[in-house]
């Protein structure tokens, strides 16, 4: 089935090499570029560090992006380790690493920028728009034209712990192949969201997959290790490096999913492990009032797998508790 998204690529003068924020990166060169994006009210400059490695050998260009939401720290650690361990220095092609896209959110432990806007709902952005829109504009005009593929690293938010998963639009065969190459436990069919990086990059002919693992403001080793291993497998799939970790088990494809919500407020006890298989009507947990008056069982609406869990011990009626997919 064709994807109904118009393609409008931004032209890049490839004969003159790669330039980001006016800095040229030659073949065989590794360079750190500090891109001034804005200033704090105090006058302090806010820079986004961009690490670029161009191999001498031709190949695709891959973006490794984290910190779009400033409180999603697992992705920051994934890209940090990729840089620290020099895993981005590939045999062929180019790798662009941005560990923290949303500097404002990162230093304020916040998902959004100071004006309350979400960068990932601000694409393609505007040079003179809101702060979120200006950051999106920089990414679309200085980075996206240079890439072929990308991995956007995220976590769950607001105490939501996502089991390691890759989100793609499965109708696109190339996107699905990248997700399979990444090789984490779940591949989630995820339609494009308006004004998201993934959708706007696709309009430029670029394929970006989203990796989700863990929760905001908390480092989770399994999610970080899965993210690094998946990135290496994608590089190997794109023939950018010779070796990569083996896939232990073929990913489970999730085509539909549903959030199980609290029917009453109270203390939330979960009985199932994240990523586990469940049957329809199987008990997932319970919500109890703090005075011993009632206990309400939480049951799965379908047979499938738990792909995210709310770790908040105190919940309100209507809160999302378990994300179950099949």
Q: At residue 6, does pLDDT exceed 90? A: no
Chain centroid, CA 292 distance in Å: 41
The answer to whether the CB of 64 falls within 8 A of the CB of 209 is: no
The answer to whether the CB of 78 falls within 8 A of the CB of 94 is: no
H or E element that contains 101: none
Quick one: pLDDT at residue 7? 47
Structure tokens given for 41: 């009210």
Strands 30-39 and 45-54: antiparallel
Contacts of 177 (CB under 8 A, 6+ apart): 237
Stretch 149-174: mean pLDDT: 96
Please provide the CATH number assigned to the domain covering 14-252.
Answer: 3.40.630.10
**Of the candidates 272, 265, 160, the residue with the CA atom closest to the CA atom of residue 220:** 160
Stretch 245-264: mean pLDDT: 95
Question: What whole-number distance in Å separates Cα of residue 40 and Cα of residue 96?
Answer: 26
Tell me the residue length of the chain: 326
Quick one: pLDDT at residue 324? 98
> What are the extents of the domains in the chain?
14-252, 256-325
- Residue in this structure with the two tokens 């989100």, named with its chain if needed: 167
**Of the candidates 213, 206, 161, the residue with the CA atom closest to the CA atom of residue 186:** 213
DSSP assignment letter at 161? E
Quick one: pLDDT at residue 157? 87
Q: Please indicate whether the domains covering 14-252 and 256-325 agree at the CATH topology level.
A: no
Q: Is 197 helix (H, G, I), strand (E, B) or coil?
A: helix
**Backbone angle region of 261, left / alpha / beta, with phi > 0 → left and psi within -120 to 50 → alpha:** beta
pLDDT tens readout for residues 307-320: 999 999 999 999 99
Quick one: pLDDT at residue 283? 98
In the predicted model, what is the mean pLDDT of the chain? 93
Question: What whole-number distance in Å separates Cα of residue 76 and Cα of residue 70?
Answer: 9
Q: CB 13: neighbour CB atoms within 10 A?
A: 9
Q: Is 139 helix (H, G, I), strand (E, B) or coil?
A: helix
The answer to whether the CB of 10 falls within 8 A of the CB of 144 is: yes
pLDDT tens readout for residues 60-88: 999 999 999 999 999 999 999 999 999 99
Question: What whole-number distance in Å separates Cα of residue 177 and Cα of residue 302?
Answer: 27
Q: At residue 16, does pLDDT exceed 70? A: no
Stretch 225-243: mean pLDDT: 98
Q: At residue 14, does pLDDT exceed 60? A: no
Structure tokens given for 28: 């065989």
Stretch 239-260: mean pLDDT: 96
H or E element that contains 288: strand 283-288
Q: Could you tell me the pLDDT band of residue 148, with boundaries at 50, 70 and 90?
A: very high
- Residue in this structure with the two tokens 């891109």, named with its chain if needed: 35
Vertex 221 angle, CA 219 and 224, to 5°: 85
pLDDT tens readout for residues 281-292: 999 999 999 999
pTM of the model: 0.94
Q: What is the DSSP string of 58-96?
A: ---EEEEE--SSTT-HHHHHHHHHHHHTTTT--SSSEEE
Q: Could you tell me the pLDDT band of residue 115, with boundaries at 50, 70 and 90?
A: confident
Quick one: pLDDT at residue 46? 86
CATH class of 256-325: mainly beta
């Amino acid at each position: 089935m064709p994807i109904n998204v118009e393609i409008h690529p931004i032209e890049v003068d490839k004969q003159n090499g790669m330039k980001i924020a006016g800095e040229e990166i030659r073949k065989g060169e590794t360079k750190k570029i500090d891109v001034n994006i804005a200033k704090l009210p105090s006058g302090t400059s806010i820079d986004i560090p961009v690490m670029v490695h161009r191999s001498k050998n031709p190949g695709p260009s891959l973006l490794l992006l984290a910190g779009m939401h400033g409180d999603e720290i697992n992705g920051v650690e994934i890209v940090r380790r990729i840089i620290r361990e020099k895993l981005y220095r590939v045999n062929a092609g180019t790798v662009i690493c941005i560990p923290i896209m949303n500097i404002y959110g990162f230093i304020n432990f916040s998902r959004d920028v100071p004006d309350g806007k979400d960068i990932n709902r601000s694409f393609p952005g505007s040079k003179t728009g809101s702060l979120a829109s200006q950051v999106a504009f920089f990414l679309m005009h200085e980075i996206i034209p240079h890439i072929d593929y990308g991995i956007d690293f995220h976590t769950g938010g607001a105490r939501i712990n996502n089991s390691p998963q890759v989100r793609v639009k499965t109708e696109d065969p190339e996107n699905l192949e990248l997700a399979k190459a990444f090789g984490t436990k779940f591949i989630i069919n995820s339609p494009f969201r308006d004004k998201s990086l993934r959708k706007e990059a696709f309009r430029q002919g670029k394929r970006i997959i989203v990796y989700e693992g863990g929760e905001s403001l908390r480092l989770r080793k399994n999610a970080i290790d899965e993210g690094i291993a998946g990135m290496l497998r994608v590089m190997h799939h794109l023939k950018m490096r010779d070796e990569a970790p083996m896939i232990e088990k073929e990913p489970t494809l999730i085509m539909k999913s549903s959030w199980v919500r609290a029917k009453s407020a109270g203390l939330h006890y979960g009985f199932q492990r994240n990523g586990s298989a469940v049957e329809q009507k199987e008990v997932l947990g319970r919500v109890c009032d703090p005075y011993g008056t009632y206990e309400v069982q939480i049951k799965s609406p379908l047979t499938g797998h738990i792909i995210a869990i709310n770790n908040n011990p105190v919940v309100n009626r209507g809160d999302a508790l378990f994300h179950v997919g099949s």
